[in-house]
């Protein structure tokens, strides 16, 4: 391995993969047909980033996030933002 490449922690990588599988399994029991969105949401979360979910009503955006929060024992808050609420 060259000096420019960081060492890979295989145990941590394996643990992260196992956590991802468990979370995906839990979310898939509630959310159907949104695997790509769930995958991107988890990438955002694991990389300590932010994620903005946009879409028409009825795509289970709120249900997806509330289920993720419940799965990870996190707090859930929803922010309603529509063009009619803008100043």
Q: Residue 86 — very low, low, confident or very high, per pLDDT cuts 50/70/90? A: low
Residue 83 resides in a domain: no
Alpha-carbon distance of 41 to 33, in angstroms, equals 14
pLDDT in tens, 14-54: 998 999 999 999 999 999 988 999 999 999 988 999 888 88
Residue 40 resides in a domain: yes
Residue 60 resides in a domain: yes
Query: Domain range spanning residue 41?
Result: 11-73
Residue 50 resides in a domain: yes
What is the domain count for the chain?
Answer: 1
Residue 16 resides in a domain: yes
Comparing 1 with 72, the larger pLDDT belongs to: 72
Residue 29 resides in a domain: yes
Alpha-carbon distance of 87 to 83, in angstroms, equals 9
Overall residue count recorded for the chain in this entry: 87
Residue 44 resides in a domain: yes
Residue 86 resides in a domain: no
Mean confidence (pLDDT) of the chain: 87
pTM of the entire structure?
A: 0.74
């Amino acid at each position: 391995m060259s000096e420019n490449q960081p060492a890979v922690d295989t145990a941590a990588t394996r643990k992260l993969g196992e956590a991802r599988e468990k979370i995906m399994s839990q979310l898939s029991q509630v959310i159907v047909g949104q695997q790509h969105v769930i995958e991107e949401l988890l990438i955002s979360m694991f990389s300590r980033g932010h994620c903005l979910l946009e879409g028409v009503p009825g795509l289970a955006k709120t249900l997806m996030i509330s289920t993720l929060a419940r799965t990870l024992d996190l707090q859930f808050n929803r922010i309603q933002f529509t063009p009619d609420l803008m100043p």
